[in-house]
Amino acid sequence: MPSNVNVKICGVKTPADIAAAVEAGARYVGFNFFARSPRSVSVEDAAALAAEVPEGICKVALVVDPTDAALDALLARLPIDMIQLHGSETPARVTEIKARHGLPVMKAVGVADADDLQKLDAYLKVADQILVDAKPPKDAVLPGGNGLAFDWRLIAGRRWPVPWMLAGGLTAENVGEGIAMTGARQVDVASAVESTPGVKDAALIRAFCAAALAD
Ligand SMILES: O=C(O)c1ccccc1N[C@@H]1O[C@H](COP(=O)(O)O)[C@@H](O)[C@H]1O
């Protein structure tokens, strides 16, 4: 029986990463355009990679506080299905980006405590999806992709009116518990499916997807 959980593999950089994700059952692949990330790809490389993604798999562009010019340049080259905003974009900026580009937007919200969930509520009317991620540590170089989980009890039993993904420190070992505790129907992973930062590992992708899709 097909699983009712969707998996996103974020930070794919090679055709082999895409093949591993798709064969393992992922429904989303993420291209990371945050230059300081070990997972970042150039627009040119991502355009070539996007051609490898089968029809029906959602191609997500992960960007952090993008300018209009940067998004214009990216979307002119790349057939993207969804924009993931992973910076400090306000609800008004999310609305602006959606209107300008006509693409679904997933807004990432970092969660460390109950106050962050109030901030999340402000995006429910403007974003198409919410990515509920761990809040990065103050001194972190990356605003996401740090392999850190948040306290899932904070969102246990929460229901939101838009689709959402659980992210942050998910691994093959803990994703089943994360799904069970939070009721997530979608999960997103970057670092736990890598052998070293920025290098995806097909066996780890398979193990993660098998665990997430076992539900
Ligand atoms: O992965 C990155 O390098 C990254 C950089 C900047 C913003 C977001 C980033 N990743 C996103 O964070 C989640 C969680 O990552 P992890 O599994 O804890 O490593 C990831 O799935 C991306 O959507």
Which CATH number does the domain housing residue 120 bear? Answer: 3.20.20.70
Ligand 1 centre to CA of 101 (Å) is 23
Per-residue pLDDT of 127-138, as tens digits, reads: 999 999 999 988
Q: Which range marks the domain in which residue 92 is found?
A: 6-213
What pLDDT does residue 48 have?
Answer: 97
Ligand 1 centre to CA of 17 (Å) is 16
Per-residue pLDDT of 49-81, as tens digits, reads: 999 999 999 999 999 999 999 999 999 999 999
Give the closest residue to 148 by CA, choosing from 191, 195, 105: 191
Distance, in Å, from the CA atom of 11 to the CA atom of 183, rounded to the nearest integer, reads 24
What pLDDT does residue 7 have?
Answer: 98
Per-residue pLDDT of 90-126, as tens digits, reads: 999 999 999 999 999 999 999 999 999 999 999 999 9
**Into how many domains does the chain fold?**
1
Please tell me if the CB atom of residue 66 comes closer than 6 angstroms to any atom of ligand 1. no
List Cα–Cα distances, 119 to 112, 185, 210, in angstroms: 11, 21, 33
Residue nearest to atom 10 of ligand 1 (CA): 145
Residue 156 domain flag? yes
Residue 1 domain flag? no
**ipTM given for this complex:** 0.97
Ligand 1 centre to CA of 1 (Å) is 30
Radius of gyration of the chain (CA): 16
Residue 27 domain flag? yes
Please return the burial class of 163, using the count of CB atoms within 10 Å of its CB with bins 0-12, 13-18 and 19+. middle
Please tell me if the CB atom of residue 37 comes closer than 6 angstroms to any atom of ligand 1. yes
Distance, in Å, from the CA atom of 52 to the CA atom of 4, rounded to the nearest integer, reads 25
